[in-house]
Amino acid sequence: MLINRRNLLAAAVALTALSSAAHADDTIKMGGLATLEGAFTVLGEDGLRGMKLALQEVNYTVAGKKIEVQTGSSDASPESAVKAARKLVEQGGVQVLIGPLSGSEGIAVKDYAKTQPNVTFINGSSAAQDTTLFNPAPNFFRFSTDGVQWMAGLGDYVYNEKHYKKVAVVAEDYSFPYSQVEGFMLPFCKAGGHVPAKFWVPIGNKDFSSVISALPDDVDAIYVALGGADAINFLTQYQQSGGTAPLIGGSITVDQTVLGSKGAIRKAVIGTAAAGPTADAWDDPKWQAFTAEYKKAFPDGFPAPSLFAHAYYINTKAAILALQKVNGDLSDGGAKFREALANLTFDTPTGPVKLDHNRNAIADIFVTEVVEGPNGALMNKVIKIAKDVNQTLGEPEADFLKIGPATRDNPDCK
């Protein structure tokens, strides 16, 4: 019995010794963190497809060094994202971490990044504005834009072109939709529009009847920032209750599931304006080539890369380009690599991208509208492209910071 225990102890010691495995000099350890559990599983899988795509382009090699990828999974909660990041960094020894996927996760991982100054954190697709605008971490980079930027041009467009003056808001209740609503409202309110009522619903809400019955009658349109099943549920129930107001979408509202739907919703979503960092049906050759490459690599993926695949692709691509610039040399704790990242400018399938002083991307944003395509299928047609959108939407930074972090009640223009 004693021997048994001693064996057990020896095994435990051996197990812990594994943890301090030495770095090999000819490999670069990269971590990919995405939601592979919970409500956003499908989106997380597509995010990792984008990361793989960027790595496949260089055959997982930079300057003769092999890139070794480890995967971490979260369930969209900040705790799980930090736990997975900690495992990849402290146990797996990754030098570059790509991720996470969702808004509140990004804020938590950024806070964790501050405790690991020698590891470089590059965002996945998380798009809460706070992550880089308030208390940024010097080693956290975001080459994908944030949820406020994703709305650039939409508020002006619906006010001036569509002549919506009063808009009600229905959105999910967490940090990413807060950013989206802020990005929509700031230009919209500035142009003279009003938002008389905002409704915040929990993620995974099934019954929208109380929201629908409380919607004011005299609004010109409804701004809907819901994702996945929530968007479908709301749109269906709104149609069934006889609602006729036109819709305005957030960046993940009008996706392929909504466009592919049949019946009454189909008619109702035609004419829905939205904005985001990608546009499925954009006819630009670079975007078309990117879509073709994605489809070829992942026949079982989506019909077109989602904005999650796009964001992970861009961020991984940035890591690869900066690694090439420093010849894959991370021996100084990544200091040179981070400097290369900060000064990096490159062309993506959706146009040029560069970073601001908070290490947040400045890039192009697409305003789209749902139209019936030539073969009868619905598609997001590109209406206009907002060029070089920065994190403050072109406002002077001091003025913009005065608005404060986006919350349920901020901004406000009743």
Q: Residue 111 interacts with another protein (CB under 8 A)?
A: yes
Could you give the CA distance from residue 326 to residue 349 in angstroms, rounded to a whole number?
24
109: closest CA among 134, 85, 143? 85
Helices (H), 121-174: 130-133, 154-160
Q: Which is nearer to another protein, 71 or 257 (CB)?
A: 71
Minimum CB separation from another protein for residue 108, in Å?
7
Segment lying near another protein (by CB under 8 A), choices 10-18, 289-297, 306-314, 335-343 = 10-18
Q: Residue 332 interacts with another protein (CB under 8 A)?
A: no
* 47 within 8 A of 123, measured Cβ to Cβ: no
Segment lying near another protein (by CB under 8 A), choices 11-19, 190-198, 283-291, 322-330 = 11-19
Minimum CB separation from another protein for residue 28, in Å?
18
Tokens standing for 398?
């001091």
Contacts with another protein, 28-47, as mask; x by CB under 8 A:
--------xx-------x--
Tokens standing for 130?
């706070």
Contacts with another protein, 174-203, as mask; x by CB under 8 A:
xx--------------------------xx
Minimum CB separation from another protein for residue 6, in Å?
8
Minimum CB separation from another protein for residue 19, in Å?
4
Contacts with another protein, 66-85, as mask; x by CB under 8 A:
----xxxx-x-xxxx-xx--
Minimum CB separation from another protein for residue 206, in Å?
13
294: closest CA among 57, 39, 65? 57
Q: What DSSP element (H or E) covers 269?
A: helix 264-269
Close Cβ partners of 351 (under 8 Å, ≥ 6 residues apart)? 363, 364, 385, 387
Could you give the CA distance from residue 17 to residue 345 in angstroms, rounded to a whole number?
42
Instruction: Lay out the sheet containing 96-98: strands in order across.
Output: 61-62, 65-74, 27-35, 96-98, 120-122, 140-141
Residue type, 114: K
Interface residues with another protein (CB under 8 A) are: 1-2, 4-5, 9, 12-13, 16-17, 19-20, 36-37, 45, 48, 70-73, 75, 77-80, 82-83, 86-87, 90-91, 104, 107-108, 111, 173-175, 202-203, 408
